[in-house]
Every structure is written in structure tokens, then in C-alpha cells.
Structure 1
Amino acid sequence: MLYTSVLVIADQWPGALHVAHAQSTNGASLPLIVVESPAPRAPRRPVRATSPAQRAAAISQPKQVAASVVPKETAGGPVRGIVAHRTGTGSKTDSSIMETPQSITVVTREQMTSQGARSIAEALRYEPGVISETRVGDRFDNVFIRGFGGFGANANYLHFWDGLRLPRGINFAMPSVDPYLLERVEILRGPASVLYGQNNLGGMVNLISKRPSATPQGEVFARVGDHNRIEGGFDVSGPITQDGQLLYRLIGLGRKADTEVNYTSTEREFIAPMITWRPTADTTFTVRAVHSRDPSTYQPNWLPALGTLRVNANGQIPRNFFAGHPNYNSYSRTQDSIAYEFEHHLDETWTVRQNFRYMNLSSEIKALSVTGFGAGSTCGAGTTANVCIGRQSTHYIENLQAATIDNQAEAKFATGWLQHTVLAGVDFQKSSSDATFGNGATTYVNYLNPSYGTIAGPALTTQTIQERDQTGVYLQDQIRLGKLAAVIGVRNDWANATSDTRTIATGVYTNRSHPSDSATTWRTGLTYLFDNGLAPYVSYATSFEPTIGTDYTGTAFVPTTGEQFEVGVKYQPNGFDGFVMLSLYDITQNNVLTMDTAHLYAAYPACTQSGINCQIQQGQVRSKGVELSAKLTPIPGFDVIAAVAHNEIEITKSTQVVSGISIQGKVPVGAPANTASLWADYTIQSGQMMGFGFGGGVRYVGESFGDNINSTAMIVPAYILADAMLHYDLNGLSPQLKGWKLALNVTNLFDKTYVSACASAIQCFYGNGRSTMGTIRYQW
């Protein structure tokens, strides 16, 4: 497909003729294209067609635009290359990233494809301040942002999909969105409660879906890799009717693979039909359905620190060691969702929107979870104790239903010299979760010579039912005065939750919690846009996040609250495509949940291995840091992505004592202080090798702590990983091969064995070994 540097914007007036060079996807110059460009000063909002004939003409206009013309970038649309300029995540309006006074980066579709991302976690590898693979696998996507994350029930799972909250179940019923469905992944750092309600203070990840296209297009691909990986998919889109009122998109994928851990596999299949109806130039209605099925998923067991993080005199635990049981361990998930997006322009000032999604998810997990080392005799006569690993069986069946709706009214107007974009909204979300589970006996296996024998799963003994709902009302004003851009917003939330746990045999409730909370949050920020591309900014924001459950004493949790101060500067260079951002932040969060396994298991027998009643609110956490990121295309065909982050996170208030040591002043588990990454990709622009490209990257993750008392024995060392990539657009080889592309991606190029993180002395995680994938793709 051909591209040009000229943006043809259908909603602006025709004006002077401009001449521009067109380029192919590999950057080679093509003949000059002459197009109509707008006059220097365009109206603030498009002049809208009023008669039926005018509206029909406006709707069908995309058919008349040459395929070589790049469409105008919008907040939810595709991006050419790796540099995005607009976002809706930071404001819920189509806004410039430069004018948004908060740290935002965007992983574009092209970046995900180039780096061979197979999950959202892998797509986030090169983003500043984000740690996405503390526990590897494709079962769940959880992240640390600016030091805030967690493990198990406290993990910071992905947050939003097309601006609507992704629900979460009680324990293992967590949604998963495949990156092949997405146009972009946006990371907004710091609080986002003013627009989205309850949210993690460190930041949010917003997944932006692909949408139907007015221009016919499509692709099919096939992929093979190590560990018997095989995968295929398709993505086709275009108009259904000649007048362009109906558009469609259909995306499908299937994959199956073994993994580097013995007796584990992963499998996924999904189909996603979408349709857009545009009856007039002022009205758009898009419906999207996704059916996804994961018969098996990959998330290796945690393992003891002795033998992974620390040297075991008997020998290290092999990276491919399977701590479960080949005939028992499994995880399956079926996920269905239907969503719609409605937008209508009432006039030149007012626009209304309504976004909705309903999701149904069911999951079942059977697992053996490592409890530590047992006596040597439990693994047979003559066995050394420190090679005999204990594992407790567990069985969970969960169902999750959730619905969320967001109603918005946007007004654009002027008051004197001030230009306003005012957004008012009401959103509502409700979820219902039902988990039936049981825990069984502890069995043992010798990791040096595993003999799994037979196993009987536990009985389902306990049921937990949770209901959550939240209503929020918000108001935001984006103000522009010359080169000064300001934003101010306020929101009030009302949140209710119930959580009831009972013993199935007796019907007796063992844990009941019915919190009801409300909170007001607000934010404000300023950005000044210099002519040279620099845009310094400053912002302040607060957050609110309800918390379900009780601690080990039966006391109900209170909501977490927090605030952030942030200053920074963004830079958009003149002369080539690029975006650079430097930000400094100071975050304080109160009433933070944590789970202290070693202390509470011994002191409170009611605290079970599944995490029920194991959580405590440790007081206050403060995170300070600096982030520098850059995404640049300095010359045609050459992309550079760089990121550096330093984070100082500390438990600043706590009465908790572990093994006689106060955790106040300590660093939370799993949060490294330093990260850095660099990625480069070059495609040859001319000559016999035109279309051939190569690249790679280096990722550094600094050391972290594996316990809350920050003992020297539980320091997880820093690690450096290398990735490599080759790709070839065969159009450069022959015009008859136009549309055919080959790619080879290798991650962890040198097959480094490393521990990615530890959550406790019995919960350490190996990182991924080397992975190699070859892809053949045909696009039209």
C-alpha cells in the first residue's frame, strides 16, 4: 500500500494546491502527487452537510480518495509508523498528546508487528516506567507502573479496553485481550480517576481496538516458532454498501504451542466481527463482538528462592522443571463480549457519545501451588530435603459477568479569548463474580528427578460471591489561550460492593464484607506550546480506588486514595517525525493492600494459601521518579525507540513487623528502581535490497526486592536481554510479490537464564528463555 506525507482532510475547505512526495511503505520516493490542501486557517469544526445529497456525498467520500493518501490521524485510529500524535486516553476527547499535561506514550500497531508482540505484556517491553513481565506467560497481563503493581490477588491487571474498564473476577477469572485485535496500546501514567473512576495510582493501560475501514484492505498471516508453535490469522475490512454507510471488519486468529516448561502448552482461538453504520456525516454507530477461547494457557508455577534466586548446594532448579502434575494442572477460559460506540454531532458546538460493553467470562483452573521444601523422606528414602518441593492442590471454577456504560456530552465554544472543549459525563459499571473452589492435600516432588505418580483433586468446599457497582459523574474543561493549554476536571464516585464467602456443606458464612464508599477526585494542568516544538507542562491529580474484603482480623478495608504532582517537557521536532518526553513525578498513596505470606500464615491459621484474609493495608507508599522516552523516525525507514526510568518507591508509613523487622522505610516487592531500553529498526530504501530490514533492541531491568523487609538474601539481580529482528518486504524484490512480507523475531537472543521477580521466599519466577518466530504475511 502506498503512503504520502500529505494529509488529505475531508472536513476542511479546499484551498491552495500543494505538492508532496509520495513514499511507499519502505520509504522509496514515488512520483509527485498534487492534492487539494486546506486554507491556512481552517474552521474549528468541520462544515457539515445538511441536505440528504450532501450527507451521502460526505459519507461516500473515502471511496474517492486515492489509496496512496494517508488518512488524518485520530485518537482512536491507525498510526503510520511508531510515532502517535493524538490520544483520547488522557482526556476522553480527540486531543494532541503535546497538549495533554500528563505522561502518555503509545505503542502503535506497526511497533507491535515489528517487535513480534504475542501479548499485551510483550507489547509494553520498551515503554518507560512500565514493568510488564515480572511473572511471564500469556494467561494474564499484569504490570508495574511507576513502582505500583503487585502479585496474586493484588496484581495490577490491565485496566481499560476502548476507554471502558476491564472487569476482574475474584481470583483467576481475568480477561485477556489479544494484541492482534488492537490498533494501539496507550499508557497514561499517574492518576486517571477524574475521567475513569477507581484506578491504580501508578497509571493505566488503555487498549484501543481496530475499527472498520472505509478503504478495502486486509491481510492473512502464518507463523511458526520453537516449541512447536503454529499460528495463523486474518484481518479484512472495507465498505459493505457502495455509499459507504455500512463498513465491516472481521478478525480471526488461532494458535497452539508448547512452552519451555515441561508438560505445559498454550492455545487460543478467537473471532471478532465488527460493523459501522454511518447514516449521516454526523452520526457513527459501531458494534463489535469478540468470542475468545483459551483451552490452555501458559503461566509457570512459582518456585522457591533457594535453587532459583539463591544457590542450592544440591543443584539449581531447572528452568524447564514443572512443579505441577501432568494429568492435573490446567487452565481454560472462555470470554465473550459485545460492545458499541455511538457518536452524534448535534451542531457545530455539541457532540454526544455513548459507549457500552457487556462481558461474560468463565474459567477453570486446577493447579499445584508450591508451598516450600518438605522433608527429604517425603520424596523417597535418601532424598535431600532441599530438593523435595511441596505443592498444595487447588481447584477453582469461576464465572464473571460485567457491564459498563459511559455517556458523554462534549461542547466546543469560545468565551472571549478562551477556546473551550468541555466534557460532561456519567458512567456506570457493574460486575458479578461467583467462585467455587477447594484446596487439597500437599504432595511432594523431587525437582532433580521428578516422579509425578497419581493425584486426586480436592473437593469444592467453598463459594465466594462478589457484586460491585460504581456510578461516576465528571466534568472537564480543556482551555486554550494562544499557546497556553490548560485542563481542569472534577469527579464524584459512588461505589458499592458485597463479598460473601460460605462453606458449601454447612452454608455458614466465613467472611462477609459490604463496603459502600464515595469520593471526589480532581485534576488540573498547564502546558505551554513553543514554536520550536517544546511543550513544558505541570499537573496535579488525585485518585480513589475502592477495596473489597477484610484483613485477618475481620476489619473491612477502606478505599485507597492518592495524589500526584508531575512536571515535564514534551518535544516534537520539526523536519522529521518524532516525539520526546521527560517527566518528573511525586506520588503518595494511602491504605495500600499487601500480602505477607511468611508472617500471616504462621500467626493466623485462617489466612489460607489462596490469599483469603492474607491481605493487610500497610499504610502509605510514596513513589518519586524521572522518565525519559523517545520515539523517532529521523530518516525514512529508520525507527528508534528509547526509554530510561528511575523510580524510588518506599513504604513511608506502616505498623507491620515481619520477623521482628518493621517494613516502614522499605521498598515494596517486585519494584525495580531502574529500567532502560533501546530499539532500532532500519529498512533499506533503494537498490537491489530495497525493502529488506533489520533491527533489534536491548532491555535492562534493575534489581528488585523479593520480600518486604528487603533482606539481602532476597535481592533479585538486574538483568539485560537482547532482541533481534529481520524483515523483508518482497515488493522490493519484484512487483509481482507486492503485499508479501517475511519476518523473523528472536527475543532473549542469548537465551539468558534469569529470575524476573520474587514475591516471597517461596514465590520466585523465571523469565522467558529464547523465543524464535518466523512470520509470512500477505497484505492488500
Structure 2
Amino acid sequence: MKSIPVMSPMPGSPSPDPLCRAVRHGLGLAAAGTLMMVVSPTLLAQSDEGADDLDAITVEAEALSLVSEGSDSYRVPRTSTATRLDLTPRETPQSVSTVTRAQIDDFQLDTVNDVLESSPGVTVERLETDRTFYSSRGFELSNFQVDGLRVPMPYNNVHGDMDTAIYDRVEVVRGATGLMSGSGNPAATVNFIRKRPTETPQATVSGTLGSWDRRRLDVDVSGSLDSEGRVRGRLVASGQQTDSYLDRLERERGLLYGVLEADVTDTTRLTLGHTWQQNDTDGNMWGALPLYDTAGERIDYDVSTSSAPDWSYWNVETRRSFVELAQELNDDWRLKGTVTHLDMLSDTQLFYLYGVPDAATGGYDASQITISKYDRHLEQWIADVHAKGDVDVLGRSHQLVLGTDWSQSRNQQSSLYDVASRGVPSLREWDGRYPEPSFGSPDFANDATIKERSVYSAAKLDLADRWMAVVGARLSWLDTVGEQYGASQDTAVDHELTPYAGVIYDVTDAASLYASHTQIFQPQTEIDRNGDYLDPIDGVSQEIGIKADMFDGMADGSLALFRTEQDNVALPAGTLPDGRTFHRSGEGVTSEGAEATLAGELAPGWHASVGYTYLEIEDAEGKDVNTYIPRNMLRATTSYRPAFMDRLKVGTRVRWQDDIERPRDFADGKTRQEAYAVVDLMASYDFSDNLTASLNVNNVTDEKYLTSLKWDQSFFGAPRHAMVNLTWRY
């Protein structure tokens, strides 16, 4: 039976070269930035004040004010991702980590995949060249936020490369996160925090050249647009073009982000923003490389081997707009409303090899090839209104948040299939030449809409001198109508309650013990013997640990023990008279483990972020499952600026995991990836206060490793490569 990787898609048409579009946008941005400097009295007035003022940038926007850009820091002092409350790491009763702007810049982490590969406890499953899944604590990661606003992600994966030029930092809260996420898996929540306008003017122009003809240009301009600083703007543009270590693979990416902030009154702030990104990929893989032949023998490929023909492509255009209105109600309370709209269009032409090659020839016949043209249109509307403030009860001050949100996601897909005309030889010899197909009418067209609405509340309670509690609850309604891949998606979930509870005890002024119980739910489309839909899957996390302020309060350390599980999972139980399979609810996957993290400044000039994770993942019968997820992982990023040469910065990034494996789909035995480490090095030098040059060498040991074993196919990660960067800052 054919095993075709399920798509998640749109209608689209060929778009102009995104690098050219980005350059045009960049020129427009540069012109706009020049115009902003010319017309702004504030910018003119400060021309003699120098770059030292940049260190004093402050943007008030609740927890978003804690910007990480402009410093070497690998930590932030507060986060609101888990509960929307403004909490320090010690006050958050879950494992939290942050990849700051300094880490992104130091190691040229230009995509979300690069960032999440640096996040403790997260695995990045690069299944194909242009589709990526993520996992944490043994479960598929399905929950994402932008500026704290939940963003539904159908199919739990990312198409193309999400550029990081517009983000100040990325926060990850591990475990069940239903309080702010609504539905999903008990894995983690990833929160992308966007850059915001600055009152003090600043500008950055950055150019990068690298291996495989990599070329990248970034421009970032921000500052006040009036003499009083009541209107502020920021424009970010980026363009990138590169070949690849993989045969026939070429990428082009363009990005434009603009945001305006206006103090309408002394207590009212209006923010408008828009992001456009275009990813164009030629020679992309749908699926990847079969890893063994019909005799069950492992196939030895070159790192550059690809299963893509020269006519395959995957283009993705994303447009995201948002408007925020923040109102100070009094000295203690603030009200904020946000509406965001997303349009994502995907246009692809794909070639997939399924099964395994013949052991004698290494080739495939035509019956093992699927050719597809896949289109997708994802449109989302998301709205949130919440109030946050302090209340005094029994002589103690507490923090409270009350809110409601609503979202609608419409996912339209269509696929056209063409019959393969002939087979292909061994991939080790194939040059990608294959007759380009012609497509007729769609073989299927799907259209499904998900609506979710919730009310939520959370509180930080000051119980006693050393005791604090964080509690909350979310009440959700979810409706899905439509069809995907020939299956009805019609489901409804009413008033699903998701509790959140944590308690923190300050053992000393610098260390705290904590325990938490968090939940999340996931709707199901399976039916029981009465034809009714099963109750949603329950995701539950329990966690205990210790957190501490270390190195004179300049770093955060934590040690956690956790247990995460799913219940009410659909299990086949029989067949109804009409032929449909009915199910019963049963126990699902359980993961247990430990995590240790350390982030911050360990000594003057020495910044680090380190995380170690140990996992055990079992099914209801106690058998190891999801063995493609490593049981031991280390993520470490560090940089050092020596006092005797403070213009120099050097650093390293290490990603280590132990061996992984998966049962073979088409033959006896298992496919195995041995333990490996990928080591990246960086060095930068400030020639002046405005000009910095840097060198990055990634995978310095030239480690050869598979990017994932989530599927029965895979491909190899990038070999040793280098990048040089020159950045001018004002």
C-alpha cells in the first residue's frame, strides 16, 4: 500500500523573485528611514548625542517591554507566556527558556528551526526540506503564540522557513499549556516576541555571505516620528538567496515588517503592524531518502543526495496584520485588545518516492512514484481582550488577569496527481532529470473551518512571606466543520475546563521550590459504539523542581522532574453495521524525565544558556514509543567578551543527542541514528561603536547525521559551512 506523506496546503500562482522583492522593499525601507530621519525633529535634535544613548532604549508594553536586543544577554528577567501574568522565572511554576536577540545574532539563527534547535527540551524534526515538525517531552509540539496571542497551527508543522529578523526573542514553556493555548498537545508552547518601535532612533544594516553562495541583506530602522516621541515607527526588511549542500536545492526568501505605535492619549496606545514573507524553494524534497533496500540493508548516501527532480518547487507567501489598543485604567490596571489576521498561500509541485529501492539495482519503477501539485490557503482571524492589574486582599498584593479570546481558521487544500511515466535509477547516481508533469483537475479539494472561543483567568497570589501560588482556569468552546482528506472534521467541544495550579516556596532569598499541575485538551473525530464523538484527549503535566538566582542574581538556574501524559486516546474497539470503526477511550503515551537549565551572565562578559533533558516515553503497556525522540539531549550556547579585549567576542553552540531509532515500515528490523554532536563556532570584532564583523563556522567537525527518524525516510544535515557578516549600527 502506498505511504504518501500527508500534506497540509492552497491556491497560488508563481510570484516574483522574493530576493528582488525584498531588495525593492529594502530600498523603499532605506528611503523611508532616510525620510524619517529628515522629517523627524527628534532625530535631528539628537545627532550629536552619539551611540551611547542606544543603551537607554525603553519601550513600555507590559512584559514585552523587557526587550533583549541591544545587549549581550542570554536571559530575560520576566516572561508572561505561561499565564499572561508578568512573572520572573522563579515565579513561573514550569520549565521556561528563552532564545534572546543576542543568541540569534551571535550564531546567525536566521530561521525558527535554527532558534528551536537551541532551545532546551525541543527537538526539530526536519522531515523534508520545506516542512518541519517539533516535539517536546515526547509529544508533538502544536502550540504557538505571537506576542502572547495564541496562533492555531493546523497539522502542527511549519511550511518553509520562518525568518527571525522581526523577533526580539523566542520563549518556550514546556509541558501542558492549556491556560493560554486552549487545545493542543502537552508538549510546550513557543512564543515569538516581535520587535517594537523605539523612541530613541536606531538603524542597522547587515550583510552576510556564506557557503553555497549564500547572500543575505538585513535593514532595520526605528525611532520617533514626531518631536514629542508620541508616534514611533519601525521597519525591518530582509532578503536572502542561497544554494544548498543538497543537490538541486535553491532557496530565495524576502521579508518586510512594519509597525507603528501612537500614544493617542497619555493613557492610550494604538499599535498597527504588518508582516510579509515570501519563501520560494526550487528542487525541494517531498518525503526524503529511503534508508534501506529490499534486502533490509542500510543505503550509504552522500550528504548531498536528494530525491527531488529539477522541476519541483514549494512556494509559500505569508501575510500577517495586527492592531492593538492598550488602555491604562488606573495606576494598577491595564486593558488590552488585539486583533490579528493571517493569510498563508502555498503553491507546490512535488515528487515522492515511496517504498524501498530494489537491492540489486537501487532503482525504482514507475509504480513507486507519486507526482502532485498541491495548493493551500490558510486564513485566520484571532482576537483577544484582557485586563490585568493588582489587587490588595488581607494586606497583601496579588496580580490578576481576566480575558477572553476567539479564533477562526479556514484551511483550504487541493491536490492534482499525475501518473509517473517511468522509474528512476539509484538516487546515488540520479541527476534529477525526469519528465515534467502536466496536471488535470484536482483529485480532491478540502475545506475545513475551526472556531474556538474561550474565557480565562489567572492570578498570582501572595499567600505568605515565603509562599506564592499561581492559579488559573480556561473555559473553551470549539467547533469544526468541513472535510480534510476525505474525512469529515465536524466536531464540537462545549465548555471544556482547563485548570492551572502551581505553588512556589522561597527556601532562601535566592532559591525557590515549586510544584505545578497543568492541563490541555485535544478534540477527536473518532466515534464510539453509539456513533458519538469521543471526549477530547486530556493532556496533563505534573512538575516539581527548584529554581534559583545564581551568580549574584545575573543568571537563572533550574532543576525539574516532570511527568506528562495523555488520556482518553481513541483505541479501535470494533466495527459498526455500516462498516465504520468505533473506538473506546484508553490511556495513551506517558513521558517522565528531568531537566536542568542555566541561563545568564556567569562572569563578567561570559553569557551562556545551557539545558539538559532526560526522557522516558512509554505507552499504556509500558513499551518504549516515539523512539525517534532522543532520550538524552544537551543544548548549550555560550559567548565570551574578554575584559582585556572587549571589542572581541567568541562563542560556541553545541547540540548533542543520544541515539535514536524507529521500526522499519517495509522490512524487518530498525533504522538507527547513532548519538552525535553538532558544534558551531563564532567570533565577532567591533571595529568601532558602529561597525562589527563576524565569522561563523557551523558543524566544525563535519558530523554526518540524519535530520529525523519520525518517518521511515530522512536526509542528512548540513556539513561544515561558514558565514561572514558585516553589520553597521547607528
Q: Which TM-score band applies after superposition, normalised by the shorter structure?
A: 0.7 to 0.9
On the 8 A contact 1:513/1:556 being kept in 2, the answer is no
Alignment-mate amino acid for residue 630 of structure 2: P
Structure 2 stretches lacking a partner, 5+ long: 1-44, 573-578
The 5 Å alignment of 1:767-778 reads: 767-778=717-728
The 5 Å alignment of 1:727-738 reads: 727-731=684-688, 738=689
**C-alpha displacement at 1:591, in angstroms?**
4.7
Q: What's the CA shift string for 1:472-509, capped at 9, x where partnerless? A: 0112121113332211111111100013258xxxxxxx
Task: Name the counterpart of 1:207.
Answer: 192
Task: Name the counterpart of 2:42.
Answer: none
**C-alpha displacement at 1:94, in angstroms?**
2.4
Q: Are 1:749 and 2:700 matched, yes or no?
A: yes
On the 8 A contact 2:132/2:157 being kept in 1, the answer is no
**C-alpha displacement at 1:556, in angstroms?**
5.8
Q: 1:468 to 1:93 in 2, by over 3 A?
A: same
1:489 & 1:623 partners in 2: Cα distance? Answer: 24
Q: Are 1:725 and 2:682 matched, yes or no?
A: yes
Partner SS, residue 290 of structure 2: coil
Equivalent of 1:428 in 406, 413, 427: 406
On the 8 A contact 1:576/1:634 being kept in 2, the answer is no
Q: What's the CA shift string for 1:401-425, capped at 9, x where partnerless? A: 1011111022311111332211111
2:526 & 2:319 partners in 1: Cα distance? Answer: 27
Q: 1:419 to 1:307 in 2, by over 3 A?
A: farther
Q: What's the CA shift string for 1:366-397, capped at 9, x where partnerless? A: 11122023558xxxxx8355899943112211
The 5 Å alignment of 1:590-669 reads: 590-591=567-568, 619-652=587-620, 665-669=623-627
Equivalent of 1:338 in 294, 314, 321: 321
**C-alpha displacement at 1:70, in angstroms?**
6.3
Alignment-mate amino acid for residue 513 of structure 1: Q
Q: What's the CA shift string for 1:23-45, capped at 9, x where partnerless? A: xxxxxxxxxxxxxxxxxxxxxxx
On the 8 A contact 2:383/2:405 being kept in 1, the answer is yes
**C-alpha displacement at 1:722, in angstroms?**
1.2
On the 8 A contact 2:460/2:471 being kept in 1, the answer is yes
Q: Are 1:475 and 2:457 matched, yes or no?
A: yes
Q: Are 1:697 and 2:653 matched, yes or no?
A: yes
On the 8 A contact 1:724/1:746 being kept in 2, the answer is yes
2:570 & 2:720 partners in 1: Cα distance? Answer: 35
The 5 Å alignment of 1:551-562 reads: 559-562=536-539
Select the structure with the greater relative contact order (CA < 8 A; seq sep ≥ 6). Answer: 2
Task: Name the counterpart of 1:347.
Answer: 330
Partner SS, residue 670 of structure 2: helix
2:596 & 2:571 partners in 1: Cα distance? Answer: 29
2:687 & 2:566 partners in 1: Cα distance? Answer: 52
Identity %: 21
On the 8 A contact 1:343/1:351 being kept in 2, the answer is yes
RMSD between superposed Cα atoms in Å: 3.4
Q: What's the CA shift string for 1:264-294, capped at 9, x where partnerless? A: 1111111111000113332222111011111
Q: Report which stretch shifted further, 232-241 or 511-520.
A: 511-520
**C-alpha displacement at 1:175, in angstroms?**
7.9
Equivalent of 1:573 in 531, 534, 550: 550
Number of residue pairs aligned between Structure 1 and Structure 2: 663
Task: Name the counterpart of 1:24.
Answer: none
Structure 1 stretches lacking a partner, 5+ long: 1-59, 150-155, 377-381, 503-509, 596-605, 608-612, 654-663, 732-737
On the 8 A contact 1:434/1:465 being kept in 2, the answer is yes
1:667 & 1:708 partners in 2: Cα distance? Answer: 14
Q: Are 1:295 and 2:245 matched, yes or no?
A: no
Task: Name the counterpart of 1:419.
Answer: 397
Alignment-mate amino acid for residue 444 of structure 1: G
Task: Name the counterpart of 1:506.
Answer: none
Q: Are 1:283 and 2:263 matched, yes or no?
A: no
Equivalent of 1:108 in 100, 107, 117: 100
Equivalent of 2:202 in 217, 228, 237: 217
On the 8 A contact 2:282/2:314 being kept in 1, the answer is yes
Q: What's the CA shift string for 1:442-481, capped at 9, x where partnerless? A: 5532213215231314432211101100010112121113
1:181 & 1:700 partners in 2: Cα distance? Answer: 28
1:569 & 1:471 partners in 2: Cα distance? Answer: 35
1:535 & 1:415 partners in 2: Cα distance? Answer: 23
Q: Are 1:246 and 2:202 matched, yes or no?
A: no
1:534 & 1:109 partners in 2: Cα distance? Answer: 27
Partner SS, residue 703 of structure 2: coil
The 5 Å alignment of 1:143-158 reads: 143-149=134-140, 156=141
Q: Are 1:456 and 2:434 matched, yes or no?
A: no
On the 8 A contact 2:144/2:153 being kept in 1, the answer is no
1:533 & 1:244 partners in 2: Cα distance? Answer: 39
Partner SS, residue 741 of structure 1: strand
Q: 1:457 to 1:665 in 2, by over 3 A?
A: farther
Partner SS, residue 445 of structure 1: coil
Alignment-mate amino acid for residue 436 of structure 2: I
Task: Name the counterpart of 1:513.
Answer: 489
Alignment-mate amino acid for residue 673 of structure 1: R
On the 8 A contact 1:438/1:461 being kept in 2, the answer is yes
Q: 1:766 to 1:387 in 2, by over 3 A?
A: farther
Task: Name the counterpart of 1:533.
Answer: 510
Alignment-mate amino acid for residue 143 of structure 1: Y
On the 8 A contact 1:393/1:458 being kept in 2, the answer is no
Task: Name the counterpart of 2:63.
Answer: 75
Q: Are 1:230 and 2:215 matched, yes or no?
A: yes
On the 8 A contact 2:131/2:158 being kept in 1, the answer is no
Q: TM-score scaled by structure 2? A: 0.84
Alignment-mate amino acid for residue 361 of structure 2: T
**C-alpha displacement at 1:231, in angstroms?**
0.6
Task: Name the counterpart of 2:36.
Answer: none
2:524 & 2:188 partners in 1: Cα distance? Answer: 17
Q: 1:524 to 1:157 in 2, by over 3 A?
A: closer
1:478 & 1:517 partners in 2: Cα distance? Answer: 29
Equivalent of 1:125 in 110, 117, 120: 117
On the 8 A contact 1:667/1:708 being kept in 2, the answer is no
Partner SS, residue 238 of structure 2: strand
Task: Name the counterpart of 1:440.
Answer: 418
1:194 & 1:171 partners in 2: Cα distance? Answer: 19
Task: Name the counterpart of 1:759.
Answer: 710
1:499 & 1:372 partners in 2: Cα distance? Answer: 32
1:394 & 1:593 partners in 2: Cα distance? Answer: 31
Task: Name the counterpart of 2:522.
Answer: 545
1:702 & 1:582 partners in 2: Cα distance? Answer: 20
Q: 1:309 to 1:366 in 2, by over 3 A?
A: farther
The 5 Å alignment of 1:80-99 reads: 80=71, 81-99=73-91
Q: TM-score scaled by structure 1? A: 0.79
**C-alpha displacement at 1:317, in angstroms?**
2.3
On the 8 A contact 1:323/1:445 being kept in 2, the answer is no
1:501 & 1:415 partners in 2: Cα distance? Answer: 51
